[in-house]
A and B are shown apart, each in its own frame.
Chain A
Amino acid sequence: MQSFATLLDRLSFEPSRNGKLRLIETYLRVEPDPERGYGLAAMTGSLKFRHATPSLVRVLLRDRVDPLLFNLSYQFVGDLSETVAMLWPEPVERGTPPALSTVVETLAATTRAAFPGQLTIWLDALDATGRWALLKLITGSMRIGVSSRLAKTALAALGKRDVNEIEDIWHGLEPPFVKLFAWLDGSGPDLDTINPAPFRPPMLAHPLLDRDMNGLDPGEFVAEWKWDGIRVSAVAGQSGNDPAVARLFSRTGEDISPAFPDLLASVQRDRFGAATIDGELLVVRDGLVQPFGVLQQRLNRKSVTPKLLAEFPIEMRAYDLLAEGADDLRALPFLERRKRLEAFIARLDDPRITLSPLVPFADWDALARIRADPAAAGAGADADAIEGLMLKRRDSAYVIGRPRGLWFKWKRDPFNVDAVLMYAQLGSGKRSSLYSDFTFGVWRAGVDGDELVPVGKAYFGFTDAELSQINKFIRANTVSKYGPVREVVHTADAGLVFEIAFEGLNLSKRHKSGIAMRFPRISRIRWEKPTREADRLETLTAMLS
């Protein structure tokens, strides 16, 4: 614990990236297993234990320090962990400081009732820096300016590896990472034996802007549909004589295999072999790709029942092939990977894993027409599940993260609806004195004629000048006030109409209207528009189907 504390202490004062890397690398080199592994886990946010609350820490000290002296000290220092670490009375005889591994392993097994006693023993055994580090660790607020990526970069340097090699195998590894260190030290077996089905982080695209298009040669790009599902990678592999491993990962590396046993079964087939596919998870009924809202319904279910699997049949549309057998294909140009992907999918011959087609186009104008009407351009009835187009350079390697100039996403125009402002709430931060959270609604038939029903909230999409105009309107048209919330006039004859842009709709039981908007924002303020001419709920529900 003491050397980990020293590391945190140094890191908290080191502003330079190189300096931080050096500190971490040195720590990881010098510390023995399993200590360094838990230190690495702490820096990468991989530790799982219940965090101690600040109030618990405060209570511990209350019995030991005069309250006025505590308050004066806390005001001066401004950080609870630090104040407590400094004020903790030095014991007459200091115990043996706990190892970091002891702390982590004990915390995972300690009951809430036993926690204060355990913490007291440790605080008595550590010096002030050690106490500070311990409190930072257990309250889960390290704030030492080290990202998970930075820690992994230092780790990679330890074994003179590329950080992306670490990213590749990271998911599926557990603290204290003993095998990982052995591989980096050169004393252990190779990495594919550590994790035969690693998460390979996806390559992401930049939005295509008008100014981009002017400089791009359409002949250097291919296009494909951007499906409105969830991005997944399907991975299978085997190390030595161990049983083969198959996993499904979300784009952040979360293992989502248990939620999709139907698709997992396809990845586990012998024909899949050892491979990594990047693709989109979709619900496909009778050959028709369903919009995101339908997939969302399956995702919302906690238990995966045979009924659910039958009702929401899943399919993966494959975009890319990152690895096949022992070959890492990511350095190859896109078109070469595509060729191998096509062959792979053909050989696999599994209706659950299909090829996402390329969309041929002659020039940007033609592509713009395709984007405006995917149905006419070959997507047919699947068009509702298409978010837009992806443009990929023919020669693009598969690069982790969001590299510039290789891939672009060109989304369809968002949905639009005219809605009436109903409630306004004070914002926070730099908008703390302004009404900047707006609840808006659309018309539906009620018992006493038409009524407005809230369908969403928007926080942005307006300029500062517009915000101040809206605020003026709100202050002049408040019907009633509930704390920070004002009800703004919204009748058929009076009120303010917003044109709301959004990315899609989901069914929702939590909302009175039964729907929830994805990413709503104010695209225009319709000062001139009569509220009675705002949209109706039926318009929205029609978009759902």
Chain B
Amino acid sequence: MGANAVTKTNDLLTLTATGLYCPPGDFHIDAMRAVPRNLVTHAHGDHARAGHGAVLATAETLDIMAMRLGSDFCGTRQVASYGVRQRVGDVTVSFHPAGHILGSAQIAIEQDGFRVVVSGDYKRAVDPTCAGFEVVRCDAFVTEATFGLPIFAFPDAGDEVARLFASLAMFPERTHVVSAYSLGKAQRLMALIRQAGYDRPVWQHGATARIAGYYVDAGIDLGDIRLVETATPAELAGQIVIGPPAAVKGSWSARFADPLIVGASGWMQVRARARQTGVQLPLVVSDHADWPALCATVLATGCPELWVTHGETEALVHWAGLQGIEARPLDLIGYGDEEAEPDAATPVDTIPAG
């Protein structure tokens, strides 16, 4: 391996202003601007943008992109099923569960027995709303590092949701308004709440409703979920309400009885971050890998070479170096803001380059 291997990785994958590009396959992965051929790891707005010629992604990712970006979000769509190998140009690609949200995938690219895996966003914790992460052995692993600092060690999500119930018991008259990304996090929380045996309605913001409907159609039990608009503020006292961060931060929350703002993300592990966002009950529930999971995953892939796409790249690169893994930071600009969802953000063609 060594120098030859690095050269081989560079043959298969290069970094362009638009993101990761595979020359022998002539496709981008999660391109940040419109490109002729794009492979999409998952449907979050920062990875899945509109305007591409052809898009290859899992059926769920394609469906959700169509829901959020409009059915004409790209020229042609092609479905990738987990584990199915297919030729794209001069390479073979396959999609593997990433455990991040429904339909999320890692993308493996192979040529002449040399395999590069692009993780997209991923987590290792169990999630009732999506397929669990599958370790794919590879020669080079391209990982995210959203929570790439050793301070991030996420507790069990079920225990965190139990803290929500404890707060409801202590403040039974306050509406508990949970701030959660409308794609993935909101539905995972609903599922976790049901797993804990909570059977009262869970109230949601309109922005999460369509996605939740899709999850339900996919056979995921979210229990009795209702739109906030169908209840009076008095009826919502002591209830759980879930809405996207922008709405919870804004005037939307003011309608509730003595609202208690609940945050649900990995950032909640850092107090200052939670306080800055006005969160009163921070729940550490993340759809990303924490530090131990990042490290364990890198080791499990057996990769001698590691690229770190975005997040807190420096620490992970340093750690990999100590393990004898050749590591380099890519520091891709544009990933990592899942809130840049199309329903809340600007159309893709107005997003500035770079």
Q: Please state if A22 and B151 are interface contacts (CB–CB under 8 Å).
A: no
Number of residues on chain B facing chain A (CB within 8 A): 26
Interface: A14 (CB within 8 A): yes
Interface check A83, CB cutoff 8 A: yes
Considering only CB atoms, which chain B residue lies closest to A132 in the complex?
Answer: B271
Interface set, chain B 310-346, CB cutoff 8 A to A: 312, 314-315, 318-319, 322
Question: B152 to chain A: closest CB distance in Å?
Answer: 8
- CB of A69 within 8 A of CB of B315, answer yes
CB neighbours (8 Å) of B84 from chain A are none
Instruction: Contacts A13-B281, A15-B280, A66-B322 given; indicate if A23 touches B170 (C-beta within 8 A).
Output: yes
Does A287 interact with chain B (Cβ within 8 Å)?
A: no
- What is the CB-to-nearest-CB distance from B278 to chain A, in angstroms, rounded to a whole number? 8
Is residue A523 contacting chain B, with contact meaning CB distance below 8 A? no
Query: Is A87 interfacial (CB 8 A cutoff)?
Result: yes
Residues of A within 8 A of B272 (CB): 77-79
Task: Please state if B153 and A72 are interface contacts (CB–CB under 8 Å).
Answer: no
* Given known A65-B150, A73-B315, contact A13–B280 (CB-CB < 8 A): yes
User: In this complex, what residue of B is CB-closest to A74?
Assistant: B151
With A13-B281, A13-B282, A77-B151: A68-B318 Cβ-Cβ less than 8 Å: yes
Q: Is the CB of A14 within 8 A of B270?
A: no
With CB as the reference atom, state the residue of chain A lying closest to B292: A90
Give chain B residues whose Cβ lies under 8 Å from the Cβ of A10.
281
Interface size class of A (residues with CB under 8 A): 20 to 34
Is there contact, CB below 8 Å, between B269 and A86? yes
B285 interfacial by beta-carbon distance below 8 Å? no
Bound Cα distance A66, B275 (Å): 28
CA distance A83 to B271 in the complex (A): 10
Chain A residues in 8 Å Cβ range of B278 = 15
Name the interface residues of B283-309: CB closer than 8 Å to any CB of A: none
User: B253 → chain A, closest Cβ, in Å?
Assistant: 13
- Is residue A405 within 8 Å, beta carbon to beta carbon, of the partner chain? no
Using CB atoms, name the residue of chain B closest to A68: B318
Across-interface contacts of A87 in B (CB, < 8 A) = 150-151
Q: Which of B153, B274, B312, B314 contacts A13 (CB 8 A)?
A: B274
When the two chains form the complex, which single residue of B271, B280, B314 contacts A72, counting CB atoms closer than 8 Å?
B314
CB-based contact A76/B151 at 8 Å: yes
| A19: interface (CB < 8 Å) | yes
B318:A82 contact, CB within 8 angstroms: no
Closest CB in chain A relative to B120 CB, distance in Å = 23
**Complex Cα spacing A77 to B312, Å:** 13
Which residues of chain B are near A22, meaning CB under 8 Å?
Answer: 170-171
Q: How far is the CA of A245 from the CA of B170 in the complex (A)?
A: 42
Distance A185 CA – B279 CA, assembled complex (angstroms): 34
Q: Check A26 for interface membership: any CB of B closer than 8 A.
A: yes
Contact check, B275 vs A90: say whether CB atoms are below 8 A apart.
no
* B149 close to A (CB within 8 Å): yes
Choose among A69, A79, A82, A127 the residue that contacts B319 (Cβ–Cβ < 8 A): A69
Chain A residues near B152 (CB-CB < 8 A): 86
Q: How far is the CA of A59 from the CA of B16 in the complex (A)?
A: 44
A128 on interface, CB distance cutoff 8 Å: yes
Residues of B within 8 A of A68 (CB): 315, 318
Complex CA distance for A15 and B319, rounded to whole angstroms: 38
A297 interface residue per 8 A CB criterion: no
Residues from chain B with a CB closer than 8 A to the CB of A83 are: 151
Please indicate the chain B residues that have their CB under 8 angstroms from the CB of A127 in the complex: 155
Given A22-B170, A87-B151, decide whether A72 and B312 contact each other with a Cβ distance below 8 A: yes
Give Cα A14 to B272, complex, Å: 13
Interface residue A12 (Cβ < 8 Å from any Cβ of B): yes
Q: Give the contacts of B242-296 with A (CB-CB under 8 A).
A: 260, 269-272, 274-275, 278-282
User: How would residues 49 to 89 of chain A score, 1 for a CB under 8 Å from any chain B CB and 0 otherwise?
Assistant: 00000000000000001101100110011110011001100
- A491 CB to nearest B CB, Å: 53
Q: Is the CB of B275 within 8 A of A69?
A: no
Pairwise interchain contact B275-A86, C-beta atoms closer than 8 A: no
Residue in B270, B281, B314 whose beta carbon sits within 8 Å of that of A82 in the complex? B270
A76 touches B312 (CB 8 A): yes
List A contacts of B271 (CB < 8 A). 12-13, 79, 82
B260 partner residues in chain A, CB cutoff 8 A? 19
**Which residues from A are CB-within-8-Å of B322?**
66
Give the distance in Å from the alpha carbon of A77 to the alpha carbon of B147 in the complex: 12
Q: Which residues of A contact B315 (CB under 8 A)?
A: 68-69, 72-73
B contact residues around A86 at 8 Å (CB): 150-153, 269
New A-B contacts (19) at CB < 8 Å, excluding given A19-B280, A73-B150, A79-B272: A10-B281, A13-B281, A14-B280, A15-B278, A66-B318, A68-B318, A69-B150, A69-B315, A72-B149, A72-B315, A73-B149, A73-B315, A76-B149, A76-B151, A76-B270, A79-B271, A82-B270, A127-B155, A128-B153
Q: Return the 8 tightest CB-CB contacts between A and B, nearest first.
A: A86-B151, A73-B151, A72-B315, A13-B280, A69-B150, A73-B149, A68-B318, A69-B315
Give residues in A with beta carbon < 8 Å to B.
10, 12-15, 19, 22-23, 26, 65-66, 68-69, 72-73, 76-79, 82-83, 86-87, 90, 127-128
Interface residues of B (CB under 8 A from A): 149-153, 155, 170-171, 260, 269-272, 274-275, 278-282, 312, 314-315, 318-319, 322
User: What are 13 A-B interface contacts by the 8 Å CB criterion?
Assistant: A13-B275, A13-B282, A26-B170, A65-B150, A66-B319, A69-B315, A73-B149, A73-B150, A76-B270, A78-B272, A79-B271, A86-B269, A127-B155
